[in-house]
Amino acid sequence: MVQSPEKVLKSLNFTSFPEKSLISLIKSDDLQMKEIEIWEHVLKWGLAQNPTLIPDPKTWSDDDFKTMKNTLQHCLPFVRFFCLSPKEFSQKVRPYQKLLNQQLYEDLLNFYLDPESVSSHNIQLPRKIKINENIEVICSLIVNSGIVSTISRWIDKIVINDNNFNESYLPYKFELLLRGSRDGFTPKKFHELCDNKPNTVTFIKIKGTEEIIGGYNPVIWETPQTSSWGKTEDSFIFSFKNKNNFKDAILSKVINSNYALLFGSISGPYFGGDININASNEFVNYDTTEYYNSFYEKKIRDIEGKFIVEDYEVFQIIKK
């Protein structure tokens, strides 16, 4: 239990554990499980102690909630609800809000509506989850799981701070669509492999440096007959000093959603007027690769202007 508590929680008979044993597991700072999984296991244990309860909380009466709340009263303080993503909170915690004390629920609601707010509740720090580089979470020659974890948090709008930046957060599968060194550097190939696929992340390795820049496109890439702007409020661009330094990463959100993306037959992954990738025609390699701070809030590079692409990769992200 001490060495591999997550294996114990995931065992088939964990619901028969005494309450004290369950608490000793979920209170651990080193429990190598996602917080949402811990919450789901706590609920599963509680249901096992009350076999007459139907799993769907929509069917529960006030007395049912009181029964479940009494069962879990000593476990709930050790679930770190503030470490969930907004989507996890909305889908997996709100249906059970009557299990939580009113002040805690109000604090959680305020926290997820305004992540910068300071809660009056005693917020526990995230668990010390290790990033295991031996586990392949992305098939990339440019980035590693640390960068993937950071990008995933940005996508889910989770605030990164000194307490959680080194915690693994890997809710998505990154499926490789294109790699320049494998598939070529032409607009034709980019659109052939990446068009009509939502939720893509582009990573660009800049030649002569360790620097990595790129962007997230929540909508699809298109090939219109004439170039046109793509609108979205959720795209962002980013930069990393190198693949092993994700603490000093720069996130830059779109500020003019009408010009978040550019679609064109001679363009590659083109983010506003900021990351500009073009070719003279769709069949030749990119001959214009530039960065300027235009339609996204922060500068992601110290130097504006042209850069040379060493390699680039485009991934579609899919919820695991």
The per-residue pLDDT string of the chain (320 residues; one tens digit each, 9 = 90 and over) reads 655 766 777 776 788 889 998 998 898 887 878 889 899 999 999 999 999 999 999 999 999 999 999 999 999 999 998 888 888 899 999 999 999 999 889 888 887 777 656 544 456 667 766 545 444 568 898 998 889 999 999 999 988 776 666 677 888 999 999 999 989 999 999 999 999 999 999 999 999 999 999 999 999 999 998 999 999 999 999 999 988 877 789 999 999 999 999 999 999 999 999 999 999 999 999 999 999 999 999 999 999 999 999 999 999 999 87
The closest of 86, 136, 315 to 216, measured between CA atoms, is: 315
Give CATH 1.25.40 domain extents, the chain: 5-113
- Sheet of 236-240: strand order equals 172-179, 309-319, 200-206, 212-217, 236-240, 250-253
Tell me the pTM.
0.61
Instruction: Give the other-Cβ count within 10 Å of 167's Cβ.
Output: 19
pLDDT value of residue 134: 41
> How many degrees, rounded to 5, is the angle at CA 36 between CA 147 and CA 218?
45
Domain 5-113 has CATH 1.25.40: yes
Q: Read off the DSSP letter of residue 226.
A: S
Do the Cβ atoms of 314 and 269 come closer than 8 Å?
A: yes
Name beta bridge partners: 174.
Answer: 138, 317
pLDDT value of residue 121: 45
Do the Cβ atoms of 168 and 131 come closer than 8 Å?
A: yes
Residue in this structure with the two tokens 């009056």, named with its chain if needed: 120
Supply the angle between the helices 35-49 and 62-72 in degrees, to the nearest 10.
Answer: 110
